Amino acid sequence: MTNQTGLDRRQFLKTAATIAVGAHVVTQSARAQDGERMRMALLGCGGQGTVLLTNALRVPEIEWVATCDIVEEAAQAAAARVGEGCQAFTRYEDVLANVELDAVAIATPLHWHAPMAIAAFQSGLHVFCEKCMAYTVDDCKDMIRAQMSANKILQVGHHLRYHPLYWHAKRGFIDAGLLGDITSIYGQWNRNNSWRRPVNVAGDYTEWGYPDAEHLVNWRLYKEYSGGLMTELASHQIDVVTWMIGKTPIAVQAMGGVDYYDDGRTVPDNVHVTFAYPDGVKFDYISGTTNAFSIFGSQCHEVIKGTKGTLVMCHLNPGPTDSAGWFFPEEGTQREIWMDMAHKVDIGGHEAIVLDATITEGPPLAGQPISTLIDGEGHLAKMTYQLEFEEFVISCREMKLPSCDGLTGLKSAADAILANQAIETGETIPFPEDLYTITM
Amino acid sequence: MANPQAVDNLADGIDLTSGEYRLRRRQIAMGSVFEIILDGDRDEVELRALIESAFAEVVEPLEMQLSHYRSGSEISWINENAHRGPVRVEPRLFDLLMECADLTSITQGAFDVTIGPLVRCWGFHRKEGRVPSTEELAEVRERVGMEHVVLDAQAGAVAFDREGIELNLGGIGKGYVVDRVVEYLTRYGAHCALVASGGSTVYAMGVPPISEDGWHVGVRPAGAEGERIGSLHLTDAALSTSGDFRQHFVEGGVRYGHIIDPRTGWPARGVRAACSVTASGTRADALSTAFVVLGTEDTESLCSKYGERALLVSLNAENEPETRQFGQPILEQARSMGGIS
């Protein structure tokens, strides 16, 4: 199979070059210079916004000066979490118009990512945007165009890009060729709950697109606002696969539906997806809401299979380390000498080599050697959410592409969105050649 | 994979009496089984959403915040940084730390969340108990004591006055999470629920449909195998148990339980298990541990002074459990076994 990923390398290089050149020609906001704190606003103070804020408060280079949520109590609670000097708003336009800022972090429902990010770029700000990047492929591309016009940083919150164990898997196993030829991948994020939230707010939110408070609180369950399991969960793992194997899909087949929870939702409560990559590689993915079983002890994992071995990566572990990874050498393949000395465990009757990211070599992550960010048992020195904000600060100050930039976010968003199209149409969706191409 | 180090087997001393209720969900959290029973005349979709979101929005985030096992938790962050200067913490966590300090005060130091280094020193964190040397114990005790924790209410910040101090909410965190779940359920209009953490702390909200007297809860000597020592009905109150029946080791013919007296650095002796019934899970969790440490006389004194209720379980010369109750009796139906009074 020929490489038809649709990635326009020239356009990518043009994107990267534009940003890199900007480091020398752009006069940055005075406040974002080295030694001064970046003034940031949080747009969206719900569950994920709170997680981001809690972790980002540990980054001393960031000064949170505003919070914003259409639910006033949420904005106020987040501002109180920050403390004195942080103002609460209910309209993001007011934040952009009235607060002196260097950057915003966006953690709103998906359909608001693009309008807010574009407005922020037009206000001359850097943007950290939660994943999934945006509601449509065009939204993603509009965000990147706005970013390039503003010559600012766009970082997308695929936080596994900031996970030491995943970096170790990439550098120490995949790039080192220990898996041989990667031929297939399996991923899952299975839970056993309805994903529905009780309605805890009152008020009129029709101006923002929600006919009632229930639609606001449960925005993930409705197609008008979200791509459901594909955008809210799967996009993380699609990004991991793209990163690990260095390829993007060429087609997708999928099934799914509202098959169990008859509660008015419009996004599937289960998705079964197969992505096809160049060279015959397939990625089978399942996300469901009625059974959380996993032989690896984590509801969320990726299994990358090659001719010489299998790599398993887990996060959201029930244990204390939040993550774990193992390598299973294939029977009959030549083993590396170090494998005999490596720490091993038994998983399902198979000998599994425990991934130890303390020996990871190579470039630093968020300015820090990866070996210092995790211990041999997988305990993280810092949460991935903190590391992504630490890198965001570096990227903004030095005008460097972050590990998870806009183009990276576009890829996983587009893949998730096309998988949803495959579910809706029941057809195999070939990936357009220009799917990831940005034209100005 | 669950790491056995994360399993903090606090006393498994509470039996939730079976009965009819609309919805029940159990989930591994904070190293134990967290359980919510929810009842009420509401739409099933609503009830399910409420019970699921209580786990997703309260239990799981609080575990991430409070666990000293989890690197990256707010407690770990404090432990790693507070000796260098004030660390601003989430307001509710700050309130909890203030309550910890208050509980240390009213228990005369028998409850202390800085006890972590002592727990490690005795090997209980890995369930590999051992008697430390006198020198080791003395060195570790330098790093234990709530007086080394500076709580700045104005700044909402916590600082340690020396390196090596650490916060370990193992003796109060589960009760706190129970309270936060109860608060969450109440906010969403629930009025009938049972919330339990690890079988050691339970809060009973309202009255179940099958009993006007409240939720029927059985009590066993904490962590001990065998039958209940009695039961009680709970309404809008918390019950917590602590004990060392399950976690202990024997060395040189001496039995050492896992509940350590922060004031001496040695495992508590005499009382083997204790129960507290009080208005909040947070307080009940802490007091049940403190009662084991305080022993009979000081527990009686505390109950008298603060209007608390305590049940203490000891073993008599025939190795049979004996109970004593202070304040309003906790047990309504006590089994006649051995020296139970």
B121-146 residue pLDDT tens: 998 777 778 899 999 999 999 999 99
Give the residue numbers in A contacting B (CB under 8 Å), as ranges: 47, 50-51, 54, 57-58, 80-81, 83, 193-198, 200, 263, 296-298, 317-322, 324, 345, 347, 375, 377, 379-383, 386
Tell me the chain B residues in contact with residue A382 when contact means C-beta distances shorter than 8 Å: 72
Put simply, the answer to whether B2 touches A197 (Cβ < 8 Å) is no
Which residues between 167 and 196 in chain B have a beta carbon less than 8 angstroms from any beta carbon of chain A? 187-188
| Domain boundaries, given as residue ranges, for chain B | 74-168
Tens of pLDDT, residues A91-118 = 999 999 999 999 999 999 999 999 999 9
User: Counting every residue, how long is chain B?
Assistant: 341
Put simply, the answer to whether A54 touches B74 (Cβ < 8 Å) is yes
Cα of B310 to nearest chain A Cα, Å = 33
Chain A: residue whose CA lies nearest to B44: A263
Among B46, B72, B155, beta carbon nearest to A198: B46
How many Cβ atoms from other residues are within 10 Å of residue A402's Cβ? 22
Tally A–B CB contacts below 8 A. Answer: 78
Put simply, the answer to whether B50 touches A200 (Cβ < 8 Å) is no
Categorize the per-residue pLDDT at B69 as very low, low, confident or very high, splitting at 50, 70 and 90. Answer: confident
Return the pLDDT at B27.
87
What are the distances in angstroms from CA A249 to CA A12, A226, A281?
17, 22, 9
Q: Name residue A245's amino acid.
A: I
Tokens representing residue A167 in the block? 């970096």
Question: Of all residues in chain A, what percent carry a pLDDT higher than 70?
Answer: 91
Choice between B337 and A224, residue whose per-residue pLDDT is larger:
A224
Choice between A27 and A389, residue whose per-residue pLDDT is larger:
A389
Categorize the per-residue pLDDT at B320 as very low, low, confident or very high, splitting at 50, 70 and 90. Answer: confident
Among B49, B61, B188, beta carbon nearest to A196: B49
Tokens representing residue A24 in the block? 């020398």
User: Is B215:B195 a contact under the CB 8 Å cutoff?
Assistant: no
Put simply, the answer to whether B6 touches A324 (Cβ < 8 Å) is no
Among A47, A197, A318, beta carbon nearest to B2: A318
How far is the C-alpha of A414 from the C-alpha of A435, rounded, in Å?
7
Which residues between 36 and 55 in chain B have a beta carbon less than 8 angstroms from any beta carbon of chain A? 45-46, 48-50, 52-53, 55
Domains along chain A with CATH numbers: 9-160+400-406 (3.40.50.720), 163-378 (3.30.360.10)
Alpha helices in chain B (DSSP H): 44-54, 60-66, 74-81, 91-106, 116-121, 134-141, 173-187, 281-306
Put simply, the answer to whether A320 touches B69 (Cβ < 8 Å) is yes
DSSP character string of A181-250:
SEEEEEEEEE--S---------S--GGGT-SSHHHHHTGGG-TTT--HHIIIIIHHHHHHHHHHH----S
Q: Which residues lie closer than 8 Å to A13 by C-beta, 6 or more apart?
A: none
The average confidence (pLDDT) of chain A is: 90
CB under 8 A, 24+ apart: contacts of A34-39:
A34/A397, A37/A61, A37/A62, A37/A63, A38/A62, A38/A63, A38/A102, A38/A103, A38/A393, A38/A396, A38/A397, A39/A63, A39/A65, A39/A99, A39/A100, A39/A101, A39/A102, A39/A103
* CATH placement of domain B74-168: 1.10.3980.10
Put simply, the answer to whether B156 touches A58 (Cβ < 8 Å) is no
Tokens representing residue A298 in the block? 């984590």
Put simply, the answer to whether B71 touches A321 (Cβ < 8 Å) is yes
Choice between B198 and B296, residue whose per-residue pLDDT is larger:
B296
Which residues between 89 and 108 in chain B have a beta carbon less than 8 angstroms from any beta carbon of chain A? 90-91
Cα of B119 to nearest chain A Cα, Å = 18
pLDDT at A35 over 70: no
User: Is A54:A46 a contact under the CB 8 Å cutoff?
Assistant: no
CA angle A235, A201, B97 (to 5 degrees): 85
User: Is B174:B285 a contact under the CB 8 Å cutoff?
Assistant: yes
Q: Are strands A429-430 and B273-278 parallel, antiparallel or unpaired?
A: unpaired
What's the DSSP call for residue B170? G
Q: Name residue A315's amino acid.
A: H
How far is the C-alpha of B323 from the C-alpha of B318, rounded, in Å?
14
Return the pLDDT at A82.
94
How far is the C-alpha of A306 from the C-alpha of A329, rounded, in Å?
9
DSSP character string of A382-434:
S-HHHHHHHHHHHHHHHT---SSBHHHHHHHHHHHHHHHHHHHH-S-EEPPTT
Q: Which residues lie closer than 8 Å to A355 by C-beta, 6 or more apart?
A: A165, A168, A169, A172, A173, A324, A325, A326, A327, A378
Side-by-side strand order, sheet with A300-306: A344-347, A350-354, A323-329, A309-315, A300-306, A182-190, A282-288, A270-276, A251-257, A429-430
Tens of pLDDT, residues A57-95 = 999 999 999 999 999 999 999 999 999 899 999 999 999
The stretch B298-306 carries a mean pLDDT of 97
Tell me the chain B residues in contact with residue A386 when contact means C-beta distances shorter than 8 Å: 72
Chain A: residue whose CA lies nearest to B92: A81
The stretch A230-252 carries a mean pLDDT of 98
Tell me the chain A residues in contact with residue B28 when contact means C-beta distances shorter than 8 Å: 318
pLDDT at B1 over 80: no
Return the pLDDT at B6.
21
Cα of B200 to nearest chain A Cα, Å = 20
Tell me the chain B residues in contact with residue A345 when contact means C-beta distances shorter than 8 Å: 1
Choice between B228 and B335, residue whose per-residue pLDDT is larger:
B228
Mutation target among A59, A192, A193, A385 for the B interface, most CBs of B within 10 A: A193
What is the complex's ipTM, to 2 decimals?
Answer: 0.78
Return the pLDDT at B225.
56
